Structure 1
Amino acid sequence: MKPISPLSININDDDFLSWTGADTYTRARLFEFALEHANDPVIITTTQLDLPGPHIVYVNRAFTLQCGYSTEEAIGQTPRILQGPLTDRAEIVRMRSELLQGNPFVGETINYRKDGSPYFMEWSVNGLYDDKGVLHFYVAVQRDVSASKAYEQRIQEQARELAHVNQNLAIANQDLAESNQNLATANQELAKVNARLVELALTDSLTGLANHRAYQSRLKEELDRAKRYQTPLSLLSIDVDRFKSYNDVHGHPEGDVALQQIAELLKAHTRSSDCVARPGGEEFAVILPNTDHEGALCHAENLRAQVEAYNWPNRPLTISIGTSTTSPADNFTCPLIQLADEALYRSKSTGRNRVS
């Protein structure tokens, strides 16, 4: 379709207000000019909704720029050429239902350009009726909202990240805001970075558990608390059985997945007051505050059984566990880590997949 030239029409202001001064041809040219220079793609189709229809009878210049089809390529085609794998079928069905009922339609879905690239769009479809109420065409107006969708996704990602900011960050931000309102924005960003560094320093990057440093610090804290309140404290030392051969056969990526799953099982079956850690490699540890040795054995056996019962995708995996306990009875002199490691060695040397 050739570009439409600007029109020279001699109509006074009163005529424009009433539209009585423009003949049918001039008004048609005005409307066509407006459509061709609209920013949003416009498609006019026939009214046959069943295949092979509807057929495109008109597209404006914005359509060709957005979708990549020339006017000649689009005319006679069905709008289904714009649909693809991610097109929302439910929206298409809803549109058909609304149009069959004589209602206008407004919706949102993903369409595809001629080169196959997808884009989010909002679109409306209205029937074009004559004075007698006979439907002749459907007029669809599209709007590319990919940029706003991408912005919404970024906002959602940022919201998820902010949800993980810990209580210390909130307190720090509050103190900074009260102490110096002028520097609140800059200090808030700095506090976020510092909190993230602290988290990285104390967290195992693979499993999200406490790392070796955090584990040692937490064990000292719990031992001090046990002495203060005269309550027992137990420790589980855990090792994944034959994990080296698992890595050798299935590869390190699969090994990492297995370690992550074991970490999830350990977290899911421990108390909120317990501390699950990964000191290193295939070794895990669980600190059990206010737990005597009998309770530690029961807890360890439950964890062992959970890992054994899990439906592992490659081959069964099991864990061996060693336990140790210190209490007022030994005046808190028991070397927890050493005794737990010795018990773990007994579990490994007597057949694995057991608790000692």
Structure 2
Amino acid sequence: MYALAASTIFESCRDYPEGFSAALDFALTADEIFDQYNNAPCGYHSLDARGLFLRINNTELKWLGYTRDEVVGRMRFADILAPESEEIYRKSVTTLAKRGVLRDVEFRLRRKDGTLLDVSLECTALYSDSGEYLSARSRVSDISDRKRSESGLRDQERFINRVLRATPDIVYVVDVETRRNIFANRETAAQLGYTSDEISAMGDTLFERLVHPEDVPKVAAHIIRILSANDDAILETEYRLRRSDGIYRIFASRDTVFARNSSGAVTQYLGICQDVTEQRIAHRAIEEQTARLQDFAARLASQRDELEQANRHLQTLASTDGLTGLPNHRAFQERLRIAFEHASRDKTPLSLLLLDIDYFKQYNDSFGHPAGDEVLRAVGSVLESAARQGDSCARYGGEEFAMIVPHMGPEDALQFAEQIRRAVEAIPDTYRAITTCVGVASFHPEMTAPSSLISDADAAMYQAKRNGRNQVRHVNGYGI
């Protein structure tokens, strides 16, 4: 086959102006093509109209365990078919001759050593000028692994079905959103008298129609517990269900989370329900103890909620300045981190204002700490009043305050800081006027951490102090 192809290639050199060199290059290309054909990751073969092998690549020969001399011109494709694939092959040949193409036709082949090989074929027919079917070219894929996986899945399905048929208890799956029972095993009909279709037809009225009215709240509470449970939790409860004959029976259920959505919320839960009527009638004392335990669980849940509320209150205290009511230094650092990440990611403006009350130590020494505290509260109120939606002000420490100003560039931030400086200067005081130095810094792409903004704003604030105080300065050097 290769010699014939090479001869054809060299004969064609007459058609090339480059002559022999071009033909040689083409021959090398043909050699590569033959290599790819013979050693492809899939099988290739060609059959004549009688099904006799005309060509077959090395890959398929290796799968089958034959040599090329044993196959080409000597064997038909039907010779290597397992009995269960013979009828499929006969029908496929007829279809291929008519349509010219076959896709994903599966056969079981018998290797030379007698073992079986599952394959999938894609075939293309070749015809004469008069339309007569001459031969077929096929690509062969080894699907043995897939077949083994499918067989394993079928075995698992058979096992699960047998377990469900053998269990003496009711097994069900409930969809939380629709409140529908989407699966019930055959014990449902045996113990309650309802068929699966009847259960499904009850829709979202299932619980109201089957659960005893006195037990509906208990079932509702149980479902809420399921919705907040982790995947390993098994939750148990008891309730009365009405059979199709109108008689109520006591059932004990064990439920677990079965499915969640992408947000992690429970969407389905799986349960096993057992008739315990006789046991509960005989052990009424146990029921009473169970009721006491449930009451204790409810109190425990209430205490847990109170504890969570107390923890939230402690978290608020931990992030709030006790004197001014503003966020404290710790809360400021976290808010600045978030604002800095948004500005870096979204390439949006961000400015930071640092304020220091002028001569505050002398004010405290002269008029006392209570007077100084009033000044701090007044400055905090000025900042809160000036803050826009999305801005965040904080007591930075001592007599220093900070304001995070998203979506504001250097020029606007400078004017905004000047408005705050004037508002502070206008604070009425019975002792002396209150003034402040304001340092302004703005985010730029070279910054890699929030600390860069703080350093720049701090440097600008101290420049305002050196320039005489009661003024606004930007780290870039300009000010008001």
TM-score scaled by structure 1? 0.48
Which structure shows the higher strand fraction?
2
- If asked which structure has higher relative contact order (CA below 8 Å, sep 6+), I would say 1
Larger Rg: 2
TM-score scaled by structure 2? 0.36
